Amino acid sequence: MTLKGRAPGFVIAATGLRAEARIAARSANVRAVAGGGDGARLAQLIEYSVAEGGQAIISFGIAAGLVPSLAAGACLVGREVLYAGICHRADTAWTARMEEAIGTAMRVAIAGVDRPLKSASEKRALNAESGAVAADMESHIVARLATRHRLPFAVLRVIADPAEREIPSAALAGLRSDGGLDPLGVISSLLQNLGQLPALIHLAADVRRAMTALVRCHYLLGSDLGFRNLD
């Protein structure tokens, strides 16, 4: 868990991975929490942070692409979050400031999912069903809790696995429940099926490209990730 204390009046950055949270937590006015793919855990961390003075919430990190036109490293600002037939609109002013600050980011619809999308066919199906162009496991939780607490929310995501990329089992075996990485889990999975290695190498290169882009976006957005309305 990453839970970096701040003075009252801060932006909550909700992530899946600890690596994403470490990037967000570099900002002076941001508290970053990592859910590790556990939606209930992430919701609890966000609730704690709201109670301690969080004034806005941003879904921050990497995402799966759902359309072939988005390459690894493409920066996205969420216009809306789609989940279970419900559309949550992100804060318009905050979204516009992020888009302007980053310059190359696209404003798009993001789908929320409860589990990783492992195959290209799953990604195509979600795009056809929702119209979203990217998906992650945190944005719908952010949107739901922001709505409940009447707080503004935003989404900043970078494509880490393009629409055509298949996710090998070894990559998922390497994720710990706290959002950290487990190299032994990767090795164990690879030993059971060495045929995963080429896909794992390609995915790792895509993720590195995405994380580099995420660092750049973070730098451009400044100390409050573009929110600008802290008390």
Q: What is the pLDDT of residues 209-230, one digit of tens each?
A: 999 999 999 999 999 999 988 8
Percent of the chain at pLDDT above 90?
Answer: 77
Domains and CATH numbers, the chain: 10-166+209-221 (3.40.50.1580)
Beta strands (DSSP E) in the chain are: 10-15, 30-34, 54-65, 75-83, 86-89, 106-112, 134-136, 153-161
The answer, yes or no, to whether residue 6 has pLDDT greater than 70, is no
Rounded Cα gap, residues 125 and 197, in angstroms: 26
pLDDT (0 to 100) of residue 183 = 84
pTM of the full structure: 0.91
**SS3 call for 213:** helix
Distance CA 122, CA 224 (A): 35
In the predicted model, what is the mean pLDDT of residues 11-34? 96
pLDDT band at 4 (very low <50, low <70, confident <90, very high): very low
Each residue's pLDDT tens digit, 96-120? 999 999 999 999 999 999 999 999 9
The pLDDT of residue 185 is above 90:
no
Q: Give me 147's structure tokens.
A: 């709505």
Task: Supply φ then ψ for residue 99, to 5 degrees.
Answer: -60, -40
Residue 51 CB contacts under 8 Å (≥ 6 apart), including other chains = none
Per-residue pLDDT band for 2 (boundaries 50, 70, 90) equals very low
What mean pLDDT do residues 13-20 have?
Answer: 96
pLDDT tops 60 at residue 192: yes
Q: For residue 32, what are the contacts with CB-CB under 8 A and spacing of at least 6? A: 2, 3, 4, 12, 13, 15, 20, 21, 22, 24, 25, 60
Which residues pair with residue 65 across a beta bridge? Answer: 134
Query: Which range, of 61-65, 156-160, 227-231, averages the lowest pLDDT?
Result: 227-231
Mean pLDDT, the chain, as a whole number?
A: 92
Mean pLDDT of 7-15: 86
pLDDT score at 190: 83
pLDDT of residue 195: 87
**For 165-174, how does the pLDDT look when each residue is reduced to its tens digit (9 = 90+)?**
989 888 888 7
- Least Cα distance to 78 among 98, 58, 51, 107 occurs for 107
d(CA 59, CA 139): 5
